[in-house]
Amino acid sequence: MTDPLFDFTGRTVLVTGGSRGLGREMALAFARRGADAVIVSRREESCRAVAAEVEALGRRAWAMPCNVSDWDALEDLAKQAWAAAGGIDVLVNNAGSSPLAPSSLETPEELFDKVIALNFKGPFRLTAILGTAMAMSRGGSVVNISSTGAIRPRPELAPYAGAKAALNAVTEAFAREYAPKVRVNAIMPGRFLTDISRAWDEETRRNAEAALQRSGEPEEIVTAALYLASDASGFTTGSVIRVDGGAP
């Protein structure tokens, strides 16, 4: 039986980067608690695969491939998703990428622009569109997936860290702009053992310097997302929550 604090029956969640990793885990977690889901990522077949998993849980699902770093494409995505589902109640801005650069000097402009577009410009634009629509309709919740890189930046990830720090900043700006009907919060994940972690060396995967002396499992992001999206966090907005196992 679903806990009434985390009952999303009758609500629709849109998850960018929803076809794998933390995005997939969150989409399925919402669906298990009654939500319908719009799955967004670049590849249609990947979106369809997760949409099928949501439907297998008895919920409605829509696969909507989109490059969320494309400013103009987000307008179409928002309109299509809103029309298909009859409104969006929860937006999870999860899509992101953190490519490495050998140094700041050797960071190509193309890489810089790509990282900023995906990790900051896209979430900014999609929140602006859907946050406005939510505020004019029945309200809702936005959950931005940031990174602990925003507060503990590494040189080889400087553009990514800057983009996530910017995302943290606009989280509070949006929280003020769309209040009181829309709440906007962020999660800063640390190291999680998603498909991306397969490229890590063993020391990085072990994450022994964290207080919990391990990396997170994908499902461990779920409770923070459910809390911030649900009525249980009705007095929480503009907040940024670390979920990193106590990393230094």
The residues carrying an active-site annotation are 160
Instruction: For residue 151, give every residue at least 6 positions away whose Cβ sits within 8 Å of its Cβ, in sequence order, or none.
Output: 165, 188
Using CA atoms, how far apart are residues 147 and 113, in angstroms rounded to an integer?
18
Instruction: For residue 54, give every residue at least 6 positions away whose Cβ sits within 8 Å of its Cβ, in sequence order, or none.
Output: 27, 28, 31, 36, 37, 39, 60, 61
Identify residue 58 by its one-letter amino acid code. Answer: G
Q: What angle do CA 11, 5, 181 make, to 5 degrees?
A: 55
CB 46 within 8 A of CB 21: no
38: three-class secondary structure by DSSP: strand
Question: Residue 147 is encoded by which pair of tokens?
Answer: 């990174």
184: three-class secondary structure by DSSP: strand
- Verify cis geometry, omega within 30 degrees of 0, for the bond prior to 153: no
